[in-house]
Structure 1
Amino acid sequence: MIGISARRAPVTLRGLDITVSLAIQPHVELLAAAGCVPVVIPPLPGAAHLVARLDGLLIPGGPDVDPALYGQRAHPTTHAVGGALDTGELALLDAAYRAGLPVLAICRGMQLLNVRHGGTLHQHLPEITGDDGHQPRTTAHDFGRQPLKAAPGSRIAAVYGDDPPETACHHHQAVDRIGTGLTATAWTPDGVVEALEAPDLPFVVGVQWEAGQVADEPLHRAFAAAAATHATARRRGPEPRNHPDPQETKR
């Protein structure tokens, strides 16, 4: 059972304008195809209590992380939606760590994961790379296409083998200082960090590219396999599954 942190979005349904909590369908379909039951969890106060009943947590893409969380003022291009989403998803991550759950963090999710570990972000990537290759300035929602270099021996390298994907990205922010307990394991040619892992934990992986908005079966299958391992251990119980939190160790 995989929890997917929900996103709020306005939709028009049969002529009625409403706001819904949703997960994008490709995440649902890819995880279901890998044998999982996806569960949409609105990141509200109290939702973290559900995490102990799950076997994995997926934090998807979304709006910018509040820069106050990493000690910076907002850049003019930063579009954070306020503290409720950040607070709710940080609580979900904390609960996932306590329960020893596999975690897959995508795009904004990876950035939030890095901030949770004490890292920082580049708030406007074109000022670093000198171009808009990671978020093309077009009228359509076009993806930037970037070749990926994975670190040998990393989990990401194991997922894709000798054929790492060309990333499909659409982000104007990126990892700057890497948080305690995380390691960068994939990059684009311009040096932008495209994957983070927590090597001391069973499966904590963040990817910057739009896994889900484009099909990424190998990554979802690897995440599902880690969740299946956790589910098996949970059924055996009551062995302790609490894994050391690098941030708690630091404190």
Structure 2
Amino acid sequence: MKSARPARPAKPVVGITARTVPVTLQGTDMVVSLSLQSHVDFLAAAGCTPVVLPPGPGVEQLVGGLQGLLVPGGPDVDPALYGQERHPRTRGGSPDLDRAELALIGAALEAQLPLLAICRGMQLLNVRCAGTLHQHLPEVTGSDAHRPQGAGFEFGRHVLELRAGSRIAEIFGDDTPKTACHHHQAVDRIGTGLTATARTPDGVVEAVEAVGHPFALGVQWEAGQTEDDRLHRALADAARRS
């Protein structure tokens, strides 16, 4: 009698929170939930099964079926969530999206689930930990270097200053990338339990990490909109370990 084959290890499932946007498809206006394809491709290439999570009420209950979570960029966070009045340059976002993603991030932190939070995602991570944001960065730095003004969608390029011994320094080693930034908001007061591990030369926080968490990393730049997939591979590695 043949012995049973050992089960093949399942690929880790990594959730990507969706963005809900209006589109016109075949002449019909509709609203769709979608993800940046590069997030899907990078995670799949790293050996994960990516799943797109429409950010509705109760979505945080899905954390128990995930081995990792990616929260991507998107609209500005409601400043009422960190105790501020709305700045004239703060774009109106979605309270429902804010609530859903804050709940997801909170559940991921509590469950010690590997988490990669990108751009808006990093800002939400900071707010979830009782931090605050600069609502319009040019008033702090004196320039539009982090969101260049032009005819199209342009990136600001900055060489990072990484904190030695940090997770982000481990991921990039001696080959520090130039960030591809497109943001007018940034971390101000750093949230409880977080630490800043990368900055640009003008002092803007570009990465935060959760102290004591196996892998909870936020980056301010547009990871996923360049060919550099090292952050996604690091999330995939952490998801396999989880």
Interval of TM-score (by shorter of Structure 1 and Structure 2): over 0.9
Find 2:240's aligned residue among 213, 216, 228.
228
Q: What secondary structure does 1:136 align onto? A: coil
Find 2:146's aligned residue among 134, 154, 160.
134
Q: Deviations 1:159-202 (Å, cap 9, x if unpaired)?
A: 00011100000000000000010000000000000000012100
Q: What secondary structure does 2:226 align onto? A: coil
- Give the structure 2 partner of residue 236 of structure 1: none
- Give the structure 1 partner of residue 133 of structure 2: 121
Contact 1:185 1:196 in 2 (8 A): yes
Residue 11 of structure 1, CA deviation: 1.7
Tell me the distance in 1 between the aligned counterparts of 2:227 and 2:76.
23
Find 1:89's aligned residue among 97, 101, 107.
101
Contact 1:96 1:103 in 2 (8 A): yes
After superposition, where does 1:96-245 map in structure 2 within 5 Å?
A: 96-230=108-242
For 2:161, the aligned partner's letter is K
Bigger mean CA offset, 46-55 vs 178-187: 46-55
For 1:133, the aligned partner's letter is A
Bigger mean CA offset, 137-146 vs 13-22: 13-22
Contact 2:127 2:191 in 1 (8 A): yes
Q: What secondary structure does 2:60 align onto? A: helix
Say whether residues 1:63 and 2:75 are aligned partners: yes
For 1:70, the aligned partner's letter is Y
Tell me the distance in 2 between the aligned counterparts of 1:186 and 1:96.
22
Tell me the distance in 2 between the aligned counterparts of 1:137 and 1:106.
21
Q: Deviations 1:42-89 (Å, cap 9, x if unpaired)?
A: 111121111100001111000000000110000000013131111000
Tell me the distance in 2 between the aligned counterparts of 1:197 and 1:134.
21
- Give the structure 2 partner of residue 233 of structure 1: none
Find 2:46's aligned residue among 30, 34, 53.
34
Say whether residues 1:24 and 2:52 are aligned partners: no
Answer 1 or 2: which has greater helix percent: 1
Find 2:56's aligned residue among 44, 61, 68.
44
- Root-mean-square deviation (CA), in Å? 0.8
- TM-score, with length taken from structure 1: 0.90
Aligned length: 230
Structure 1: where are the runs of 5+ without partners? 231-251
Residue 26 of structure 1, CA deviation: 0.4
Q: What secondary structure does 2:117 align onto? A: strand
Tell me the distance in 1 between the aligned counterparts of 2:106 and 2:154.
34
Q: What secondary structure does 2:136 align onto? A: coil
- TM-score, with length taken from structure 2: 0.93
For 2:184, the aligned partner's letter is H
Q: Deviations 1:85-136 (Å, cap 9, x if unpaired)?
A: 1100011112212322100000000000000001000000000000000001
Structure 2: where are the runs of 5+ without partners? 1-12
For 2:195, the aligned partner's letter is T
For 1:14, the aligned partner's letter is Q
Q: Answer with 1 or 2: which has the greater Rg.
A: 2
Contact 1:52 1:95 in 2 (8 A): no
Q: What secondary structure does 2:197 align onto? A: strand
Contact 2:109 2:216 in 1 (8 A): no
- Which runs of structure 1 show a deviation greater than 6 angstroms over 4 or more consecutive aligned residues? none
